[in-house]
Amino acid sequence: MSNIIRLLPDHVANQIAAGEVVQRPASVVKELIENAVDAGATEIKLIVKEAGKTLIQVIDNGKGMSDIDSRMAFERHATSKITMAEDLFALRTKGFRGEALASIAAIAHVELKTCEAGADLGTHLIIEGSKLVSQEEAVLIKGTSFSIKNLFFNIPARRNFLKSDTVEFRHVVDEFERVALAHPNVHFILLHNGSEMFNLPESNLRQRIVNVFGPKTNEKLVPIKETTEIVSIEGFVGKPEFAKKSRGEQFFFVNDRFIKSAYLHHAVLNAFEGLLKEGTHPSYFLYLTLPADAIDINIHPTKTEVKFDDEQALYAILRAAIKHSLGQFNVAPVLDFQRDSTMDTPYEFLDKKAETPTIEVDMNYNPFKEDSVSMKQAYNPFEHNQTSYVSGSRSSSNSSKGDSFLSKSPFESSRREQIESTNNMYEDLRSSANELDFSKIEIEEDVKEISLFDGALDDISTSKSFQLQRKYIVSPIKTGMVVIDQGRAHQRILYEKFLENITIKQAASQQLLFPLTLYYSAYEIQLLRDSESALKLTGFVFDSIDKEQLVISGLPVHVAESEASIVLDELIQELQGSPSETSFSMNDRIAKSLAHSLSVKTGTVLSEEEQENMVNALFACKDPSISPFLKPTFITMKVDDIEKRFTL
């Protein structure tokens, strides 16, 4: 195989933006994984230790490199992706700067093992701080293995600048997920400190999303598919009811490259207008395919921002495609004044074929034919009392019998018996009513008349506290009054309570009748596993924590079963971010997150007893004046200050 890596001319290299800046371990992960994809690998394994500070290893089964290419890869401005400036506007590959590996080799210990397909021997190369330590032939399998050890070993100031392992590993996972979502046809594996975090086999796009973010994601997805002359759009958006407070699951891919675009993001939000709750953000996984010469991806060093030739048309097409899918799958309402919803086919009968009814006809039936037998057996009440009529008058011999029949008709006698029975019933009721003694019966009054102003002043004077605007608690004191922010006060109370449970004594737990199963991504499960011991002390009881789900059998007394997922979601969001300046430990962050999630919010109506309990609990805290987030919990107003307001 001929050598393909060469030095770029200076005028071409100068047209390329500044070199890749290695800010953190995630920058190295991004470069190495993208190079593996460009090498045609079908299986890529990422091994990370201590969030990449100690080791970052990427192993792929791509086409490998020759001994000369393996050495040239670490030279500045050396690449196999482009040869002239015009190639910058027709790129289909990922990394193309040609200086990222040189930057990595300058600040770390690099070990490269690579072998081309069909070659008997491969190349084993070691570089430390841009210095070539050794390069020799070795027996290797096809593919390439990059090992980056001791990142920033010669720049201690940059190493000290790195965040905690949790935060740095979150950035590593972000880069891993972006490349994995862009290439569902590649098998990706991620190992961290010896534990397998992701194992994503080759699959379709929907299955890849579900494998990354957990099985519960499948029911949240609404498919998007639109093809025009300008752009082809494919992917999924999340249903509005599953919108989150964070912006985690939002991905744009242009020609299989992850990008960030505030302009396209606004188009998505516009399509969801009127469907989202305030403060929530939709999830989306959108893949845009455009001609390579219609975009410019060389406007940002990290290549996450691009420039489109026709942004307005792209905005309109994306917005319309999302709106169409939301309406098509009955997620968003559709205005159709000619449509009668009662005529819609039920969902369970949508694909069923109509069945022809079977009709049986009695060909011998004749409605005009009389049944002689039944007619003869029909009852005639006058059959046994018939009289003979001669010339229109009755016979005298039967006249007395006829009179007797008319006066003693069975129908008439039955009617008289009913009337007599009814009269007797009412007579019994009258007699029993006369015997009742109403003097001993007490009647409860349902309506009480209350004066609007009587006693009102007395109630206010005896009341210890009252609620203002469903946000503040006003309580009198000797020198005036104190106004308490109920939300911040409750945060302080819960915060100290949870800290006490974690550090001193375990809190009580309420057992669930049926275990609660919650689903999360592999990284979120790892965060919960890391904080499992502290959560148990606050009252959580976990039956199991598996790779994609956790089973809860007990909750803290303050947490309802319907709130469990919300509390844990906010805790995960807090643990993913950088610790604030006010947090000094993992236990402190957990206590603050739980206190923030479970505290009463503005608009909550508190009874007088609840107000008094909150006031007493607040001033029983060690530091009642500020919330866990360093905001004041109450203010005081003295009588003198109030009197000054009335002084002219």
183 and 247, same structural domain? no
pLDDT for the residue numbered 336: 52
* CA atoms within a 13 Å half-sphere pointing along the CA-CB vector of 302: 15
Cα dihedral 133, 134, 140, 143 in deg (nearest 10)? 50
pLDDT class for 455, splitting at 50, 70, 90? Answer: very low
DSSP type of residue 20? P
Domain carrying residue 533:
466-636
Task: Assess whether pLDDT exceeds 60 at residue 229.
Answer: yes
Q: Is residue 415 assigned to a domain?
A: no
62-71, 260-269, 579-588, range with the lowest pLDDT: 579-588
Q: How far is CA 415 from CA 40, 410, 422, in A?
A: 102, 9, 11
Query: Domain boundary residue among 178, 202, 226?
Result: 202
Amino acid identity, position 396: S
167 and 80, same structural domain? yes
Query: Domain boundary residue among 328, 348, 373?
Result: 328
Q: What is the distance between the alpha carbons of residues 474 and 491, in angstroms, rounded to a whole number?
A: 18
Instruction: Report the run of H or E that residue 453 belongs to, with start and end.
Output: none
Looking at per-residue pLDDT, the higher value among 491 and 388 belongs to 491
31 and 154, same structural domain? yes
pLDDT for the residue numbered 301: 56
Query: Domain boundary residue among 172, 202, 232?
Result: 202
Angle, helices 262-271 vs 311-328, to 10°: value is 30
Task: Assess whether pLDDT exceeds 50 at residue 13.
Answer: no
pLDDT for the residue numbered 243: 86
What is the total count of domains within the chain? 3
Over residues 336-354, mean pLDDT: 59
217 and 176, same structural domain? no
pLDDT class for 19, splitting at 50, 70, 90? Answer: very low
Q: How many helices (H) and strands (E) does the chain have?
A: 20, 26
Residue 563's CATH number: 3.30.1370.100
Task: Assess whether pLDDT exceeds 90 at residue 83.
Answer: no
* CA atoms within a 13 Å half-sphere pointing along the CA-CB vector of 377: 4
DSSP type of residue 546? -
Task: Assess whether pLDDT exceeds 70 at residue 604.
Answer: yes
Q: What is the distance between the alpha carbons of residues 160 and 167, in angstroms, rounded to a whole number?
A: 14
215 and 194, same structural domain? no
Nearest to 509, CA basis, from 541, 550, 548:
541
Residue 179's CATH number: 3.30.565.10
532 and 485, same structural domain? yes
- Residue ranges of alpha helices (H) inside 436-563 are 456-462, 486-503, 522-530, 532-538
Over residues 526-541, mean pLDDT: 88
94-103, 125-134, 354-363, 454-463, range with the lowest pLDDT: 454-463
215 and 153, same structural domain? no
What is the share, in percent, of the chain residues with pLDDT greater than 90?
27
Nearest to 399, CA basis, from 388, 408, 409:
388
pLDDT class for 458, splitting at 50, 70, 90? Answer: very low
Residue 244's CATH number: 3.30.230.10
pLDDT for the residue numbered 520: 85
pLDDT for the residue numbered 519: 85
240 and 163, same structural domain? no
Amino acid identity, position 240: P
Tokens of 69: 């290419």
Q: Rounded mean pLDDT of the chain?
A: 78
pLDDT for the residue numbered 302: 60
**Residue 32, φ and ψ in degrees, nearest 5:** -70, -40
490 and 534, same structural domain? yes
265 and 150, same structural domain? no
Q: What is the distance between the alpha carbons of residues 439 and 69, in angstroms, rounded to a whole number?
A: 112
Task: Assess whether pLDDT exceeds 80 at residue 291.
Answer: yes
In the three-class reduction of DSSP (H, G, I as helix; E, B as strand; rest coil), residue 247 is classed as coil
Looking at per-residue pLDDT, the higher value among 298 and 603 belongs to 603
pLDDT for the residue numbered 398: 43
Over residues 270-280, mean pLDDT: 86
